[in-house]
């Protein structure tokens, strides 16, 4: 199946919202959130579409306002039946290109420490666990180093990074 990567369009927001809801374990935000992301960060939001134009992958990110050399990936999701087909790698390539266009030198993202598939994927793509870089307490969850309470009490996440 031929997969095309393109920038998201603002009018994609409802389809992306519905896509994310069907893409566990990806966290789903309110539909309006995706409208805002596509309206104001559309140049760093990309989709993978199949030959029929259906979304099979989605990612958004943005340049850090505190550190303009860092690009943060907010979400990346691949339709379940498309996992392992190279679609995720194509999305990451698109994200790296967007980050480079914005003159970023590194990419960061967080992964739930229980999401071993995502951890393996990002490791394969050259990302490293950089949780120790945070000035907060790191904890070991079943052999995975993560930042304790990263997104609030009890929401421990692993911080990954890659220089580009």
Q: Whole-angstrom distance between the N-terminal and C-terminal Cα of the chain?
A: 29
What's the pTM? Answer: 0.93
User: Is 148 exposed, middle or buried (CB count within 10 Å of its CB: 0-12, 13-18, 19+)?
Assistant: middle
Same domain, 126 and 85: no
Same domain, 86 and 151: no
Select from 153, 130, 156, 128 the least CA-distant residue to 142. 156
Same domain, 14 and 35: yes
Given a contact cutoff of 8 angstroms between Cβ atoms, the answer to whether 45 and 34 are in contact is no
Same domain, 59 and 95: yes
Final residue before a domain boundary, out of 65, 84, 104 = 104
Final residue before a domain boundary, out of 89, 104, 119 = 104
User: Distance between CA atoms of 148 and 89, rounded to whole angstroms?
Assistant: 29
Neighbours of 110 (CB within 10 A): 20
Same domain, 13 and 80: yes
Q: How does pLDDT run along the chain (164 residues), one tens digit per residue?
A: 799 999 999 999 999 999 999 999 999 999 999 999 999 999 999 999 999 999 999 999 999 999 999 999 999 999 999 999 999 999 999 999 999 999 999 999 999 999 999 999 999 999 999 999 987 899 999 899 999 999 999 999 999 999 99
Q: Quote the number of domains for the chain.
A: 2
CATH of residue 7's domain is: 3.40.630.30
Domain hosting residue 33, numbered range: 1-104
User: Distance between CA atoms of 26 and 79, rounded to whole angstroms?
Assistant: 11
């Amino acid at each position: 199946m031929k997969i095309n990567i393109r920038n998201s369009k603002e009018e994609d927001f409802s389809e992306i919202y519905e896509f994310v809801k069907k893409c566990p374990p990806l966290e789903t935000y309110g539909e309006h959130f995706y409208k805002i992301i596509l309206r104001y960060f559309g140049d760093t939001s990309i989709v993978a579409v199949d030959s029929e134009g259906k979304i099979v992958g989605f990612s958004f990110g943005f340049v850090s306002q505190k550190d303009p050399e860092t690009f943060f990936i907010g979400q990346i999701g691949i339709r379940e039946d498309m996992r392992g087909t190279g679609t995720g790698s194509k999305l990451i390539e698109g994200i790296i290109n967007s980050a480079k266009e914005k003159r970023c030198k590194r990419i960061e993202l967080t992964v739930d420490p229980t999401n071993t598939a995502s951890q393996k994927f990002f490791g394969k793509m050259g990302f490293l666990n950089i949780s120790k870089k945070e000035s907060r307490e790191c904890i070991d969850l079943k052999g995975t180093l993560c930042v304790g309470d990263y997104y609030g009490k009890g929401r421990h996440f692993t911080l990954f990074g890659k220089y580009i």
